């Protein structure tokens, strides 16, 4: 089922326009309306309205991944980019604004000024405890 108030469901349905760059049975790739750099592309599953990584089916995620791989090659070549960042926001506190699972393909250029996240070291013993917490989920 599509969500009637979801902008990406409307794009998939053709109810609002988008600059599509690739489409197959399960996925659609189209330009982000407010790009970080020209060629910034979003990839979405077309089947229903999965919200995020926690919600998307394994089959749709596999299809999105393969489309991201193909479209990354095309975007880098077409835009003569020097690299690609893949980015995904899941849930509001991670910066997700559109509640329909999507991956950002962002072409990168020398000196484009985009800064990635700040990092910091673990405290003594912290990494072992964190890794154990995550392993315990499987
Ligand atoms: P999020 O923060 O949810 O990961 O990113 C949503 C992205 O969707 C934003 O980068 C935003 O520019 C893009 N976006 C929002 N509305 C539209 C729209 O109507 N059309 C297109 N093509 N992109 C949109
Ligand atoms: Zn949707």
pLDDT in tens, 83-110: 999 999 999 999 999 999 999 999 999 9
- Enumerate residues 6+ apart whose C-beta is below 8 A from 129: none
pLDDT at 96: 98
**Averaged pLDDT of the chain:** 97
* Residue keyed to tokens 């072409």: 107
- Structure tokens that stand for 2 in this block: 């599509």
Measured distance CA(105)–CA(108) in Å, rounded: 10
Give how many domains the chain has, as a whole number. Answer: 1
pLDDT at 1 over 80: no
Q: Please choose from 97, 99, 104 the residue to mutate so as to test ligand 1's pocket, defined by most ligand atoms within 8 A of CB.
A: 97
Q: Is 120 a catalytic residue?
A: no
pLDDT at 91: 98
Nearest atom, ligand 1, residue 40 CA: 10
- Among 97, 93, 116, 98, smallest CA distance to 106 is for 116
- Computed over its alpha carbons, how large is the radius of gyration of the chain? 17
Within-domain flag for 2: no
Within-domain flag for 95: yes
pLDDT class for 4, splitting at 50, 70, 90?
confident
Span 38-59, mean pLDDT?
A: 98
Structural domain for 40, as ranges? 7-135
């Amino acid at each position: 089922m599509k969500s009637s108030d979801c902008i990406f469901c409307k794009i998939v349905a053709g109810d609002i326009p988008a600059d599509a760059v690739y489409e197959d049975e399960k996925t659609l790739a189209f330009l982000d309306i407010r790009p970080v750099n020209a060629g910034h592309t979003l990839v979405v599953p077309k089947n229903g309205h999965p919200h995020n990584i926690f919600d998307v089916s394994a089959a749709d995620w596999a299809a999105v991944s393969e489309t991201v791989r193909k479209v990354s090659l095309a975007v880098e070549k077409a835009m003569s980019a020097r690299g690609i960042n893949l980015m995904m926001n899941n849930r509001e506190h991670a910066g997700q604004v559109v509640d329909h699972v999507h991956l950002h393909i962002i072409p990168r250029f020398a000196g484009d000024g985009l800064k990635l996240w700040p990092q910091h070291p673990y405290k003594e013993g912290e990494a072992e405890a964190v890794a154990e917490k995550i392993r315990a989920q499987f």
